[in-house]
Chains A and B, each alone.
Chain A
Amino acid sequence: MLSPELLDELHSLSRTEKLRIVQMLVNDLAEEELIAASVEYPIYTPLGNEQAASILYKVLQTAKNQDS
């Protein structure tokens, strides 16, 4: 959380120190983006797969007819 005290301290830094802080934060953000981009999350949900549902429905009806 950015406190007024922290902002005051940042403003009081020298030009060189401010550049170092900016560079450090840019590096942090780039690293986080890289980590987030490299993770893959599989989507297993067969959303909208009506063709598969239709096939399974017929298979189930056949199985029920054989059992009865």
Chain B
Amino acid sequence: MLFQYTSADNSPASLMPRLPIALSLNNRTTEISGLLDTGSAINVMPYQIGIELGAKWDEQTIAVPLTGSLGQFEARALVVFAAHPQITGNQPVQLVFAWTQAQNAPLILGQMNFFLEFDVCFYRSRNNFDVRLKRNN
């Protein structure tokens, strides 16, 4: 399915591939735009999104060391389900995140494991990108 690049400040110079996606944990769901970041080794979830999903910080016991601007914040592993009606249908996909205590971080969809689960083609010159569920050979 094709999505348009979007801009945070209506500037054509700041267009980025942001995917609207629904994240679920237990019985809670929140919708958010995730930044498709092929340079990121992992998925990253900002603190507030985990709270909206009902995750309890103290119950997540596996620490995840981060680098860059996120290195100063503690992060813990959190597994949730991700869905988009036109991409996943009624089969949500498990995504694992480094849930960071950083409040201002974007939701980052990276190599482990968003790009393991979804095939993505970027067409920056046309301002759109194509996301499909991976094929199971």
Interface residues of A (CB under 8 A from B): 42-53, 55-57, 59-60, 63-64, 67
Residues of B within 8 A of A50 (CB): 41
Q: Tally of A-B residue pairs with Cβ under 8 A? A: 88
> What does DSSP make chain A's interface, helix, strand, loop or mixed?
helix
Q: Does B1 contact A (CB under 8 A)?
A: no
Question: In the complex, A64 Cα to B41 Cα: how many Å?
Answer: 20
Which of B4-12, B51-59, B66-74, B121-129 is found at the contact surface with chain A?
B66-74
Q: Does B98 contact A (CB under 8 A)?
A: yes
Q: Which residues of A contact B65 (CB under 8 A)?
A: 49, 51-52, 55
Let me know if B83 is at the binding interface, CB within 8 A.
no
